[in-house]
Structure 1
Amino acid sequence: MADKWNAGLRSVPVAGSRTDAAIDQGLRAYMLKVYNLMAAGLAITGASAYGVYSLATTSDPANAVGQIRGVMVTQFGAAIYDSPLKWVLMFAPLAMVFFLAARINRMSTQAAQATFWAYAAMVGLSLSTIFLVYTQQSITQVFFITAASFGALSLFGYTTKRDLSGMGSFLIMGVFGIVIAMIVNIFLQSSALAFAVSVIGVLVFAGLTAYDTQRIKEMYWEGDDTLVAGRKAIMGALSLYLNFINMFMFLLQLFGNRNS
């Protein structure tokens, strides 16, 4: 393949230049679609999180059925934050992301995209609890810190000539280590371990942002049909979305100001 490509460049330089330009244009369009899908997912998550929090809490004692962390909650809030339903809301997004990863090759682009939107909304429902714990100002500040960091890391992954594939297995092992440590800390309730997990989590998902960006870029092939290209863009957006959300949550645990 490479030899044929090089031969074509030598024999027909003008046509080769046009082909290179077409590939570059196609790659830019593909990456733009990935980022747009990811940004839309984040917007859905943010709207879902704040919308659910608004419905779940109240400032009117007449509408309150109780308090959680000093915040008055409605009947809806008590159901999703202080009943067994909270475990369903916690693990449902995890089940859906595995479902999407397993089924995407048999889905239409529209179905895969709709599943991604549904997943983003469910993550927002689960993340609505951060408004009970942290001040809205610090949530906003950490979001913009995350966005700036993510942008710089993704740009590095896109532009670097260095092969980042060797980082992949190491970073995935780091993710598994973080999950195990978080489960252990549910029982230990160690603030030192929680701090260490947050620091390592930021570093791991920062590395994954650069690694996944390069991997998504290399997944592009100009010969893909619309269906395959659409599936690749959705899975790429999902990968970057997960990196952003996890980096945001770990940074929030490190720098977020808690409600008094």
Structure 2
Amino acid sequence: MEGNSFQVSQNKFIGKTLLYMTMGLILTFIVSYALCINEDFIIFLYYNQYSFFVAIIVEIGLVSLITRKMESMSVKTGFILFLLYSVISGVTFSAILLAYSLESIIFIFFIAALMFLCSGMIGMTTKRDLSTLGRFAIMSLVGIIIVSIINMLLGSNDGLFNFINYVGMIIFCVLTAYDMQKIKIIHKYSYELSPVEVNKFAILAALNLYLDLINIFIYLLRLLGRKR
């Protein structure tokens, strides 16, 4: 009976995490699409390039804030910050949507979602501890970011650009499996905590999965997307 109760609790926790993630994704795409069809915003974006970088800095700041301070926040504040992050992501994402055809974006997002689902299922079902693999993926991600910056500063090399995108896509597939397995571990240790604390963990987990799926999509779009 206790085992069934634990399983039900775990399923609810995973369901809540995925619900939060989905809400964030929907909000991001709504904001992105609304901005893409707004002529005034397009003019503003192209004539104020610094605003795009400011939005990226705000994104990074919000991720850091949520990750580091979630335990001391209320659930409401944490959730609002997560939704705010999703909105800001929609602003930066609109620049990507402007560069590619809508049909291409929809098709590639479907592929990215399938890759995310398969990676997530591996993380949920494997008996192997993925923590070492996850840490390696995080270190590899830092390396890819550094190489990307160097490639951008020296003038984009097509071969290196494609290599970065393939490796980045693989890294985030690995991180998806790692984060899904981590959700089970988080639930195991938060099972007897209050619902408030469990909700905080669900928001953090949702943010990680959101970042995984978005990045798989972006790397795939760079490789396969059809430009406007």
Match status 1:201 vs 2:168:
yes
Q: Secondary structure at the match of 1:205?
A: helix
- Comparing 89-98 with 40-49, greater Cα deviation is found at 89-98
Counterpart AA for 2:44: A
Asked if residue 252 in structure 1 is aligned to residue 221 in structure 2, the reply is yes
- Cα deviations by residue, 1:2-45 (Å, 9 ceiling, x for unpaired): xxxxxxxxxxxxxxxx1111001100000100011111111011
Which of the pair is proportionally richer in helix?
2
Q: Distance between the aligned counterparts of 2:11 and 2:46, measured in 1?
A: 43
Q: Which residue of 1 aligns with 2:184?
A: 217
Q: Work out the CA distance in 2 between the residues paired with 1:246 and 1:42.
A: 12
Whether the aligned pair in 2 keeps the contact of 1:80 and 1:89 (CA below 8 Å) is no
CA drift at 1:186: 1.3
TM-score (norm 1): 0.84
Higher Rg of the two aligned structures: 1
Q: Measure how far apart 1:81 and its partner are.
A: 3.1
Q: Which has the higher contact order (CA 8 A, sep 6+)?
A: 2
Percent identity between matched residues is: 31
Q: CA RMSD in A?
A: 1.1
Are residue 41 (structure 1) and residue 8 (structure 2) matched? no
CA–CA separation in structure 2 for the residues paired with 1:172 and 1:100 = 18
**TM-score normalised to the size of structure 2?**
0.95
Asked if the contact 1:45/1:124 (under 8 Å) is kept, the reply is yes
| Cα displacement (A) at 1:48 | 0.8
**C-alpha separation in 1, matches of 2:93 and 2:135:** 28
For residue 96 of structure 1, what is the aligned residue in structure 2? Answer: 62
The unaligned stretches of length 5 or more in structure 2 are none
CA distance in 2, matches of 1:82, 1:160: 49
Return the alpha-carbon distance in structure 2 between the equivalents of residues 85 and 130 of structure 1. Answer: 15
The gaps in structure 1 that reach 5 residues or longer are: 1-17, 58-73
2:140 corresponding residue in structure 1: 174
Which amino acid counterpart does residue 57 of structure 2 have in structure 1? Answer: F
1:82 Cα deviation after fit:
2.6
